Amino acid sequence: MGIVKFFDTTLRDGEQTPGVNLSAREKLEIARQLARLKVDVIEAGFPITSVGDFEAVKAIAEKVEGPVIAALARANKADIDRAWEAVKYSKRPRIHTFIATSPIHMQCKLKKSPEEVLKTAREAVAYAKSLCDDVEFSAEDATRSDPDFLCTVFGAAVEAGATVINIPDTVGYTTPEEFRRLLRYVKEHTPGICSVELSVHCHNDLGLAVANSLAAIEEGVTQIECTVNGIGERAGNTSLEEVAMALYVRRDQYAKTFQLDTTQIYKSSKLVSALTGISVQPNKAVVGMNAFAHQSGIHQDGVLKERTTYEIMNPQVVGVPSNRLVLGKVSGRHAFREKLREMGYEPSEAEVEKLFREFKLLCDRKKEVHDEDLQALLENELRSVPEEIKLEYFHVTSGNNTVPTATIRISQAGRYLQEAASGDGPIDALFNAIDRATGFNCHLIEYSLKAVTSGKDALGEVSLKLQFQDRSYTGRGISTDVIEASVRAYMNALNRLLMDTPGLVIGSEAV
């Protein structure tokens, strides 16, 4: 059985999902989870793009062990230097450099001739190799490139020292059969190709990213680039969990192994969704809320008699929790800390203290506390940002015969901002009151509410997205009270906005 390596680009291509803006701390937490999932490579970011991304890649390179840590760089010296500066702290660093090879990209975007692109690619790989042993080269928009030119560029990259050659379907244009033909062509016509790792990177514009990646595996490709939950530019990237479970469930067909720990898939999906604010569609394969739910009577009857009648995967293999009761009101700090460890988290002492206080408050409001509740508290903590503005209190009146009105009191650096407003409903009234208090005119562009567990006293989790001027910010809040969860999510998004926009004046009237 051959081995397939998983190159995870959740923190780079995944972070290019519209509206996603991860902090360095969130990126580090996701990278730690990817290491627990045992991906082979973590593409931690694109260091030249911002100081924040550089710092995040550097922190991951310093602190996360196990996987290779890769950083992306365009095919120029400045990008490659910056990528190397960030990843050189890793025990297993990789520079990933790329240039476009399709006629449309070369002419319209790069404004370079094919000869210039060939020279640039060769020089970039040689320069990256002078810094780092492990160099990946990608031909952007490979599937719309001339196959002979593609092979020439790949040949030059191999000669210059590339250790991995990646074939991206950048715009999600190819189909499985066409992709297989291209891969065969590349393997037959690229000098030296059998001495390097062959990789593919598929986008999902036609919903074919997973099918194309699996077709590539059948053609002998040994590295798959993918993201958790399939997030990424436009329609996203190949979904890690779907490829992994296809290889696992259909090992009779693919005869491939991998080193991923599939029992970490569900947790990784939840963490990425919580920190990016991109929720997983209910019917998403492998990790969607309904992936293991059986609705019709016939199916339920079948599953009760024999699980495999309608279930091709055991939910435990992907780590779906079984709603276990974890701790109660009388549990102490020690048991609490141990429980967090058992769940794979290593929060600092200060974080344990804060989480423990929140856990005790939750015990007062909720009869039973489950793994998922604890996970939600943890994710909330990970997603927290410095609170430039704090919620002091809110009050809301609503009913079927009255205009919903809300009062809010917010504090910022020792001063208080208080406002009242009405709205279409209690949440709208509260958001309007917050906007009045801060003086920001935000548009709510997404709002979703879900219960973390079942039962009337379940924790409600609100995820939302705000638009402020030309940027969008995600926010998340949890509480057993859905109105409070909504206010907390709104405040969380505003604090992200404030972190991103230093010097923004908050509120005109201090009370």
CA distance 302 to 39: 35
Among ligand KIV, Zn ion, none, partner that 336 touches (CB below 5 to 8 angstroms by kind): none
Contact 367, 457 (CB under 8 A): yes
28/99 with CB nearer ligand KIV: 99
One of 26, 79, 140, 242 touching ligand KIV (CB under 6 A): 140
CA distance 115 to 155: 14
Distance of closest approach, residue 141 Cβ to ligand KIV, in angstroms: 7
168 near ligand KIV, rule: CB under 6 A: yes
Among Zn ion, ligand KIV, none, partner that 370 touches (CB below 5 to 8 angstroms by kind): none
Distance of closest approach, residue 290 Cβ to ligand KIV, in angstroms: 30
176/321 with CB nearer ligand KIV: 176
98 near ligand KIV, rule: CB under 6 A: yes
CA nearest neighbour of 491 among 505, 503, 473: 473
Among 62-70, 122-130, 164-172, 445-453, which window interacts with ligand KIV (CB under 6 A)? 164-172
Residues ≥6 apart with Cβ < 8 Å to 15: 21, 22, 27, 45, 276
Distance of closest approach, residue 168 Cβ to ligand KIV, in angstroms: 3
47/319 with CB nearer Zn ion: 47
Plot region of 392 (φ>0 → left; ψ -120 to 50 → alpha; else → beta): alpha
CA distance 60 to 71: 11
169/419 with CB nearer ligand KIV: 169
22/385 with CB nearer ligand KIV: 22
Owner of token pair 């999932």: 37
C-alpha distances (whole Å) from 453 to each of 374, 444, 449, 457 are 11, 26, 12, 9
Residues ≥6 apart with Cβ < 8 Å to 305: none
200/459 with CB nearer ligand KIV: 200
336 near ligand KIV, rule: CB under 6 A: no
Among Zn ion, ligand KIV, none, partner that 138 touches (CB below 5 to 8 angstroms by kind): ligand KIV
DSSP output for 252-320: HHH-EE----GGGHHHHHHHHHHHH--PPPTT-TTTSTTTT---SHHHHHHHHH-GGGT-SS-GGGGT-
C-alpha distances (whole Å) from 464 to each of 172, 306, 398 are 28, 40, 22
13/40 with CB nearer Zn ion: 13
Distance of closest approach, residue 325 Cβ to ligand KIV, in angstroms: 43
Which amino acid type is present at position 291? A
201/436 with CB nearer ligand KIV: 201
173 near ligand KIV, rule: CB under 6 A: no
170 near ligand KIV, rule: CB under 6 A: yes
One of 8, 13, 26, 29 touching ligand KIV (CB under 6 A): 13
CA distance 269 to 241: 9
Rounded to 5 degrees, what are φ and ψ at 399?
175, 175
Structure tokens at 393: 């209190």
The one-character DSSP state at 245 is: H
Binding to ligand KIV by CB under 6 A, coded x per residue (else -) over 186-205, reads ---------------x-x--
Rounded to 5 degrees, what are φ and ψ at 314?
-85, 125
Distance of closest approach, residue 467 Cβ to ligand KIV, in angstroms: 26
Among ligand KIV, Zn ion, none, partner that 47 touches (CB below 5 to 8 angstroms by kind): none
Distance of closest approach, residue 140 Cβ to ligand KIV, in angstroms: 4
CA distance 93 to 70: 6
Position with the least CB separation from Zn ion:
13
170/463 with CB nearer ligand KIV: 170
Structure tokens at 152: 């020439």
One of 5, 11, 13, 442 touching Zn ion (CB under 5 A): 13
Among ligand KIV, Zn ion, none, partner that 465 touches (CB below 5 to 8 angstroms by kind): none
* Interface with ligand KIV: number of residues (CB under 6 A): 9
Site for Zn ion, residues 469 to 498, rule: CB under 5 A: none
Contact 494, 430 (CB under 8 A): no
Kindly list the residues in this chain that would bind ligand KIV in the complex (CB under 6 A).
13, 98, 138, 140, 166, 168, 170, 201, 203
- Binding residues for Zn ion, rule: CB under 5 A, are 13
